[in-house]
Structure 1
Amino acid sequence: MTLSITGDGFANGNKHTQLEAYTSETATTPLTTIFTQSTGNARVITATILEDSPIVEEARTVYLRVRNNKSKDLSSPVPFRVRDTAIVPNGEITSSSNTVEIGKPIFFTVTSDIINNNDTDISTIEWYIVKMEGTNEVRELVQTGGTEYRMTPTTNDPFEIESKVTPNSSVCYTESPKVYSTHQMTPMPVEIIYFSAAKQGKDVLLAWATAMEKDNTGFEVQVSEDGLSFRRLGFVGTQNGNTVLRQEYRYTDRENGKHGTRYYRLKQVDTDGGFEYFTTKAVSFGQVSGYSLKAYPNPFESEVSLELQADQPGRLNVQVLDAMGKVVYTKQYAVEQGLSLEQITLGQSLPKGIYFVRTEMNGTASNFKLLKK
């Protein structure tokens, strides 16, 4: 810790000054003496107190006095409170959204006791993006200054955000500087801007658009009669597999013999064989009842709550699949008419990443994505 003492007469004919610490105002024998040199007409002298100094061995109040080389007092005793422990700098980084998406801005804000106590210069706060390149962790400085950092992910590479807050030299914290970090985040694949399915006589017109594409070969159009088992209808090739521009697509289902409810979804296929399913749309060729649901939290750790609003009682079939299409969870729930709440327990051992949830009730399907953090 560094102390600065300001006063008149420190440099007036004094070859040097001494900063002495006493156990009381009236004590005559100093607890310790710290030598400081005074030069020119300086009115400020500085002294550094080390961790092993007798002053910091225990929590108490000591009295500081400045004297010259002739043992003449240059100041009155000044009380100085010494803490027995350094301050723990609690804090965190919060984000403007629970999910991270490619092409969508997200804000990060750092909060800290160091900032709240005005014990740092905001302009010195450093922001880093941390990624893995092979087996090496790479930390890139992306911003200096400010308690907020904004970014727009352009790839789905996992990353963490770090913020380094450095306290002023005049205060003692258990960590200096203090680094706050987020958990590892993986940008979710680009969302389809829209996907619609409209009945046109005996046919169904499917239309969708993308905001951007990366290494995309095209879209496999799939159909299902029960909302769970899908088959291929056709394939629509990409217009530009690597672009940040909007792309629009259409496909018409002209199969004969349609009946009941037909469910449509898209399977987007990458150049390396990877794929992703997009949300399901239903087209009715007869009377069906519907339902709606919300899932939270997303991202999740081990459990997901399903808030369900049903037009009539029924059984809700739920399947959870990993990114490769493997079923990792399946269960059927008895649902009453109106609002109900169900739990999906997936467990802590489930690997991090994106999962797809298929639900079906009374002939109506609904699909959505979850992110395991």
Structure 2
Amino acid sequence: MTMTSPTKQVQPSVDAYVEDRAVLDVRGLWKVFGPRSDKVVGSPLEELSRAELKERTGCVAAIRDVSFTVRPQEVFVVMGLSGSGKSTLVRCLTRLIEPTAGEVLLDGEDIRKASDKHLRELRRRRFAMVFQHFGLLPHRRVLDNVSYGLEIGGAKKEARYERAREVIELVGLSGYEDSYPDQLSGGMQQRVGLARALAVDPEVLFFDEPFSALDPLIRRDMQNEVIRLHREVGKTMVFITHDLSEALKLGDRILIMRDGELVQVGAPDEVVGAPVDDYVREFVRDVPRSHVLTTRWIMRPPLPDEPLDGPELGPDIVVRDAVHTVLRATRPVKIVAGGELLGVVTSEEILAVIAESPGKPEEGK
């Protein structure tokens, strides 16, 4: 089987994408913890490995020269093992932790230069965060928890309650407005946290491993809830997780981190189809490729005398969704985009990918 690899981004430049704009543009971001940490970046010390830097200076480089962009209405997933720097990264993006160096541009505005007052306004109105620990106020009803951000933003009671009821209905909690957090299940509490973030109508939603404390069934339900809400409200989302299946299910693009550094960033099929090194290859080893790879990855050039009057599919159709069309076709299936023939797929290519798949994953996005 010939696999045609789409272009993948390993360390994307800040202008690597040709979208109309980047909602979030991160440039050369560093976070160094320890004594005289501000002396590391820009000196020969920044070239040392994490272990060498700690031994020589007592400092830990949690984030090392990370650059990426997040597009409008994209679900951008950051993943890595424990200690990879992913949670530190998202906290730097919101300045819950102050970065050591670099830029974090929100619609072109560097939030690192924002005053404390302006930063509070940004947090109240333009971005919101959903944490693993729900952080609900135990003495407040669901309605008051959800409207809390609007309250501290100065909204009048009637207006904030009206908005709170709208998002409570949106996340499926109608009827629980007067309940208290300890009367709700873990999944319901997380929905309250999500509703609270949505209530202020933020431009960007940040999720820091929000479902890792939930049991598997509730976690799957909440993943589906995020997908549904994204389709309905179209928010730009940055989602932190250590779970590859969660990343593949939710992410339009995935950034993989190791020891504070960016290892690879790309669409799910790029990460699975063309891992850049053994670290990523090990991550994706057990992923059923037929559930992630698209026809673009398995198409091949047509043979000189091969008939080209068979059915057509697009290049972004996931292999498992193309199976019935390809196996039923008596002719090679044409892979076409914009009227241009990119290649063909036959049962041979389809069956080869299915044979590689180790098992059946969760339902995809």
Q: TM-score range by the shorter chain?
A: under 0.3
More helix by share: 2
Which of structures 1 and 2 has the bigger CA Rg?
A: 1
More strand by share: 1
Choose between structure 1 and 2 for higher RCO, CA contacts under 8 A separated by at least 6 residues.
Answer: 2
**TM-score, with normalisation over the residues of structure 1?**
0.20
